[in-house]
Amino acid sequence: MTATVEPFVHPAFLYQGAEDYLAGTVPFILEGLAAGEPVAVAVPAQNLALIKANLGDRASSVELIDMTEAGRNPGRIIPTVFLAFADAHQGPVRLIGEPVWPGRSGLEYPACAQHEALINLAFAGREATMLCPFDVDGLDSSALIDALRTHPVLLHATGSQDSGVYAPKDVVATYNQPFPPPTSPATIEFDLTGLSTARHFVAYHAANAGLNPEQVEDLTLAASELCANSILHGHGHGTLHLWSEDGYVVCEVSDHGRITDLLAGRRPAAVGQVGGRGLLLVNQVADLVRMHHSPGGTTVRAYVRV
Assess whether 17 and 95 both reside in one domain.
yes
The phi and psi torsions of 181 (rounded to 5 degrees) equal: -65, 145
Provide mean pLDDT across the span 29-58. Answer: 98
Assess whether 32 and 76 both reside in one domain.
yes
pLDDT for 227: 97
Assess whether 39 and 152 both reside in one domain.
yes
Quick one: DSSP state of residue 31?
A: H
The answer on pLDDT for 3 being more than 60 is no
pLDDT tens digits for range 84-130: 999 999 899 999 999 999 999 999 999 999 999 999 999 999 999 99
Nearest Cα to 32, choosing from 53, 54, 63?
63
Assess whether 255 and 154 both reside in one domain.
no
pLDDT for 17: 96
Domain that holds residue 212: 186-305
pLDDT tens digits for range 270-280: 765 555 689 99
Provide mean pLDDT across the span 42-64. Answer: 98
Provide mean pLDDT across the span 207-234. Answer: 96
The phi and psi torsions of 270 (rounded to 5 degrees) equal: -70, 150
pLDDT for 10: 97
pLDDT tens digits for range 62-97: 999 999 999 999 999 999 999 999 999 989 999 999
pLDDT for 5: 80
pLDDT for 59: 98
The answer on pLDDT for 28 being more than 70 is yes
pLDDT for 156: 87
CB 171 within 8 Å of CB 149 = yes
pLDDT for 284: 96
**132-153 per-residue burial string, b: 16 or more CB within 10 A, e: under 16:** bbbbbeebeeebbebbbbbbbe
Bridge partners for 238 per DSSP: 190
162 within domain boundaries: yes
Assess whether 266 and 190 both reside in one domain.
yes
Mapped to the 3 state alphabet, what secondary structure does 65-96 carry? EEHHHHCCCHHHHHHHHHHHHHHCCCCCEEEE
pLDDT for 137: 97
Q: What percent of the chain has pLDDT over 70?
A: 96
Assess whether 168 and 194 both reside in one domain.
no
pLDDT for 277: 80
pLDDT tens digits for range 141-161: 999 999 999 999 999 877 899
User: Which of 120, 152, 174 represents a domain boundary (last residue)?
Assistant: 174
User: Which of 174, 209, 225 represents a domain boundary (last residue)?
Assistant: 174
Instruction: Enumerate residues 6+ apart whose C-beta is below 8 A from 34.
Output: none
163 within domain boundaries: yes
Structurally, the chain folds into a number of domains equal to 2
DSSP-assigned letters across all residues of 213-262: HHHHHHHHHHHHHHHHHHHHHSTTEEEEEEEEETTEEEEEEEES-----T
Instruction: List the single range of 32-46, 230-244, 268-282 with lowest mean pLDDT.
Output: 268-282
SS3 292: strand
Averaged pLDDT of the chain = 95
Assess whether 126 and 195 both reside in one domain.
no
SS3 58: helix
Question: Cβ atoms within 10 A of the Cβ of 27, count?
Answer: 10
